[in-house]
A and B are shown apart, each in its own frame.
Chain A
Amino acid sequence: MSNLLPLIKNECIKIIKRKRFYVILLVLLVLVPMFTYAQMKSAERSQEKFNSDWRLELQQRITDNENSLSSDRVPDEWKRYRQIFIQQMQYYLQHDVNPNQPNGVTFTREFMDNAISLFIPLLIMAIASDIVSGERTTGTIKMLLTRPVKRWKVLLSKLIALIMFTSLIVVSTIIIAYLISGLAFGYAGFELPVFTGFRIVGSEVDMSGVHAVSQWKYLLMQGGLVWFVGVSVGMLAFMVSVLVRSTAASIVIMMASLIAGTILTNMASAWSSAKYLFMVNLNLTGYLAGNLPPIEGMTLNFSLGVLALWAICAGIVSFSVFTRRDILN
């Protein structure tokens, strides 16, 4: 333990000095204003149409969804999704709570919902994919391994540094999204209630467990789930980074599998064994909002189990490969 801490320190400083973390912050600073602007435009449009009366807007959305239910061209899964959506929105209307009241916190909450399955994993990959293979590309790995430190300690220090930065990325995403969207929508909204605890049984929603939490608590829960996803994806990227020599190749591999995940979640509902793939299980915040899972039979615990299993396997593979492999060039 005594010589692990300096190693972690070394890794953290390397990540900072290589400016990877700054790049991530920069990406956020460029992209979040774009999302904010898009959100602002759509809010303006609905304001024109409904005189900023959210109840009318919500009721109109419910009716539009009901109309699409009667159409034969709509696939059954979409119908189920819409039926569930209708019931939830009616619940919000009954309790006179605006689910999309525009403010910085709501924006952040929605942003995190959308970012969890692709955007945040990509940001984490930017650090994770480089963390071992980068040393190979520059040749510094030899210097690292010739020091009188056990190899597993070197790798462990990298992993810990990665988890530390995963937390930093998640939190800075939340903070940046809040600060920037607050400029447009205002900084209030921490105490607004959000409903959670919808349980989906078939195409009905079980309302017995529904309860309101204030938005800051909801955001905290989201943060925790996003963090879990981040750590699991980080572990996988870490493994790829150990196995593959070049950083570019390891980024491509991880990116391809993540994007495959988003495509699969959109169309794989018929192929039920796809639920054992890690990339269709990334949308953990969906369970919080009570969305219909992409494949039938998926629950929070199932998704957590799948992700944890993949992450643990990735850890075992990376450690066993890294400690045994010869470092030649």
Chain B
Amino acid sequence: MKSSAWIWRITASVSVIVTIVLIFGFVYAFNDINNPQGQPLVSGDKADISAGETSPEQHESVPSQPVLPNQLQVTVLGDSLAKGTGDSAGGGFVRRSVEQLNEDGRSAGVLANLAINGLTTEGLLPKLDDQGIQYALKQANVIMLSIGGNDLFQGSGLLEEASSSDNLEPDPAKLMSALPQASERLQTILEKIRAINPDARIVYIGLYHPFADIEDLLIPGNIVVTAWNHAVMEIVNRDSNMTLVPTFDLFQHKLGEYLSSDHFHPNGAGYQAIADRVVQGML
């Protein structure tokens, strides 16, 4: 009977204390959820980050002929191409080029692939203000970027027309209309990335023409894509640590071989071809 008395004393006192604590917690939670007290959070790190962004001396420390380190850390930004849409192996040019770099004796790894399907220059620009994206860019020494394809082809409504109707009217003017603004935005994007990470190699993947096998679209599309690539080249050339990887010629006569079934994105072989070019430009 003595043990019962002890059991009782212990369980009773512990459970009463514990119940009071839990009721207190309940009331606390009730108040906290119903009347949340917002507080302005000033974090020191945030100030540090913005200070680092604009420090000019880092800009000057970029050597005129940048050498790539052996440890490559890749952050990827951009659209479905950077994501690898259409590659049945799922890798895209990013993982394929990283694998190839690893085989060639470097040690490369993808830090983060932040590409989003269907992204345009307009969508990418505000993302560069996100803390997380800035952080991922800062940690990298190679930044791969693929953007612009959706600006030109989706913005003009060409993608829908090409897939749905036969009586499409190729309108070079319509295609061209997106160009000036988009290339201006791309310039801002590249400048922003450069400001966030002054030392990284920036690899821009040039556009190819996915509709070159449609007779009516061949010439107007070629003109627009070339004009775009040219505009990008002019921006990229101003920075010795930026590269444009041309893909136009790769796809020009091999659309059937290199495009996936959606007739817009490359397939595995197409991505491999792009990856080969990326690696060639890096080594």
A interface, by DSSP: helix, strand, loop or mixed?
A: helix
B interface, by DSSP: helix, strand, loop or mixed?
A: helix
Task: Tell me the number of A-to-B contacts counted with CB atoms below 8 Å.
Answer: 157
Q: Is B46 interfacial (CB-CB < 8 Å)? A: yes
Q: Is B131 interfacial (CB-CB < 8 Å)? A: yes
Q: Is B12 interfacial (CB-CB < 8 Å)? A: yes
User: With the chains together, A226 CA to B21 CA distance in Å?
Assistant: 12
In the complex, per-residue mask of B1-30: 1 if CB is within 8 Å of any chain A CB, else 0: 000100110011011101101111111111
Are A60 and B38 within 8 A (Cβ)?
no
Q: Is A147 interfacial (CB-CB < 8 Å)? A: no
* Partner among B25, B37, B46, B113 whose Cβ is within 8 Å of the Cβ of A211: B37
* Partner among A94, A95, A96, A168 whose Cβ is within 8 Å of the Cβ of B14: A168
User: With the chains together, A58 CA to B139 CA distance in Å?
Assistant: 14
CB interface residues, B 31-52, toward A, < 8 Å: 32-34, 36-39, 41, 43, 45-46
Among B14, B15, B38, the one with the most A-chain Cβ atoms within 10 Å of its Cβ is B15
Q: Is A25 interfacial (CB-CB < 8 Å)? A: no
Q: Which of A33-41, A135-143, A216-224, A318-326 contacts B (4 or more CB under 8 A)?
A: A216-224
| Contact residues in B for A304 (Cβ distance below 8 Å) | 30
CB distance from A167 to the nearest CB of B (A): 4
Counting contact residues on chain A (CB < 8 A from B), the size range is 35 or more
Are A220 and B43 within 8 A (Cβ)?
no
Are B136 and A95 within 8 A (Cβ)?
no
Q: Is B250 interfacial (CB-CB < 8 Å)? A: no
Are B27 and A56 within 8 A (Cβ)?
no
How many residues in B have their beta carbons less than 8 Å from beta carbons of A? Answer: 47
Are A164 and B12 within 8 A (Cβ)?
yes
Are A209 and B38 within 8 A (Cβ)?
yes
User: With the chains together, A13 CA to B7 CA distance in Å?
Assistant: 7
CB distance from A99 to the nearest CB of B (A): 12
Closest partner residue, chain A, to B45 (CB atom): A96
Among B45, B113, B116, the one with the most A-chain Cβ atoms within 10 Å of its Cβ is B116
Q: A66-B116, A93-B135 are in contact. Are A164 and B15 (CB under 8 A)?
A: yes
16 other A-B residue contacts (CB within 8 Å) besides A94-B46, A227-B25: A17-B4, A50-B112, A55-B135, A56-B139, A59-B130, A59-B132, A63-B113, A70-B116, A167-B18, A196-B36, A197-B36, A211-B36, A220-B25, A222-B29, A223-B21, A227-B26
User: Which residues of A are at the interface with B, using a C-beta cutoff of 8 A?
Assistant: 8-9, 12-13, 16-17, 50-51, 53, 55-56, 58-60, 62-63, 66-67, 70, 89-90, 93-96, 163-165, 167-168, 170-171, 196-197, 199, 207-213, 217, 220-228, 284, 287-288, 300-301, 304
